Amino acid sequence: MLNVSIYRYNPEVDDEPYMQDYQVDTQGKDVMVLDVLEKLKAEDPSLTFRRSCREGVCGSDGVNISGKNGLACITPLSEAVKGNKLVIRPLPGLPVIRDLVIDMSQFYAQYEKIQPYMINNSPAPAIERLQSPEERAKLDGLYECILCACCSTACPSFWWNPDKFIGPSGLLQAYRFLADSRDTATEERLAKLDDPFSVFRCHGIMNCVQVCPKGLNPTKAIGHIRSMLIRSAT
Amino acid sequence: MVTTVTSLGRSGLSDWMIQRISAWIMTAYLMFMVGYFIGNPDLTYAQWAELNSGLAMRMFSLATILAIAAHAWIGMWCVLTDYITVRLIGPKATAIRIFFQLGMIAITLLYVVWAIDILWGI
């Protein structure tokens, strides 16, 4: 039997959060953490968590699994269980709504700040705005972000200043549009990132890279943004 | 975004660049000093005073002192704006943060003046 400890908090009933222990029979199979949560939910319907696609695409089930942020649906027990114990907590740093469900408003507010859409005021061509294969290749490793918030909620700079520091996820997206040959608002975008918080509160500790379930590298993207700012400002 | 008034360079990029350049200056000074002490195991006060009375060495020491001051200012400003915030400790945070920021700036400037006094007093 696998010992599972889960963060529980229902603000309507509980004065404070607590850890609840369960025992789960996985029949020796290396199932995903989400399978364990689903099994527990079948027994205890009050257990609350987000999930949707169950294949690492929607980014709904980001949780802290035995101390490391990740997607419950694509994290196998063999990676997450330490000493026959699995500990599941909500993603750290954002307010908890209930159990493993966090309020992601602050995360989305930062995403909105970087204007995550193409800006190009020139008349649209008849069919589409073309890119060379080389220009398109610059977006690889950037566009794949699924906004699960595993990276930003693993970042101490985001914990301390979630209202001012854009966070690794937002900055990866910011560079996705800065690097796009079809976007013409590069200077305007850079001008909004020059303050001491938006980009520069990143101290390069690379927690974001360690936890990204899609294998992306926000620290590298932040480095590219810094280089673009230097080129623009010198 | 409101321009910060207590950060050193008033812009993130400026602070970031000062932080990197000051780090290089401090590293160079440290390596020079370590090399000097290794190369002079029987160092006397006369030799030490002679080294530090030359204009080039004074300029190198002054550059390092300014680098330390700038580096500390930026670093401390980051620490204070990380931990002494309204979000973390409530509405009193702004007054407390300004107090510590101005105190940190005053102490840093005092150290710089004191160090210049020592350097040119040798």
Span A55-114, pLDDT tens digits: 999 999 999 999 999 999 999 999 999 999 999 999 999 999 999 999 999 999 999 999
Per-residue model confidence as pLDDT tens digits over A62-78: 999 999 999 999 999 99
Relative to beta strand A2-8, strand A85-89 is parallel
Chain A residues whose C-beta sits inside 8 Å of any chain B C-beta: 157, 160-164, 192-201, 203, 226, 229-230, 233
Query: Model-level pTM?
Result: 0.91
Which residue in A113, A171, A195, A222 has the most chain B C-beta atoms within 10 A of its own C-beta, making it the best mutation to test that interface?
Answer: A195
Which chain A residues have a beta carbon less than 8 Å from that of B83? 160
pLDDT value at position B4? Answer: 80
A232 to chain B: closest CA residue = B13
Q: Where are the domains of chain B?
A: 9-120
Which residue in A187, A200, A230 has the most chain B C-beta atoms within 10 A of its own C-beta, making it the best mutation to test that interface?
Answer: A200
Question: How many CB pairs (< 8 A) connect A and B?
Answer: 48
Per-residue model confidence as pLDDT tens digits over B85-120: 998 999 999 999 999 999 999 999 999 999 999 999
For chain B, list residues with pLDDT below 50.
Answer: none
Distance from CA of B89 to the nearest CA of A (A): 11
- Residue of A157, A162, A197 lying closest to B12 (CB–CB): A197
pLDDT value at position B17? Answer: 95
Percent of chain A at pLDDT > 70 equals 100
pLDDT value at position A131? Answer: 95
| CA distance linking residue A52 with residue B103, whole number of Å | 52
**Of the candidates A76, A72, A103, A104, which has an alpha carbon nearest to the alpha carbon of residue A89?**
A72
Distance from CA of B44 to the nearest CA of A (A): 42
Average pLDDT of chain A to the nearest whole number: 96
More confident residue, B4 or A180: A180
pLDDT higher than 90, residue A146: yes
pLDDT value at position B10? Answer: 83
* Mean pLDDT, residues A1-25: 96
pLDDT value at position B41? Answer: 93
pLDDT value at position B96? Answer: 96
Which residue do the tokens 């990132």 mark? A193
Q: What is the CATH number of domain B9-120?
A: 1.20.1300.10
Q: Which DSSP string corresponds to chain B?
A: -PPPSSSSSSSHHHHHHHHHHHHHHHHHHHHHHHHHHHH-TT--HHHHHHHHHSHHHHHHHHHHHHHHHHHHHHHHHHHHHHHS-HHHH-TTHHHHHHHHHHHHHHHHHHHHHHHHHHHTT-
Percent of chain A at pLDDT > 90 equals 97
Cβ contact B88–A198 (<8 Å): no
A198 to chain B: closest CA residue = B12
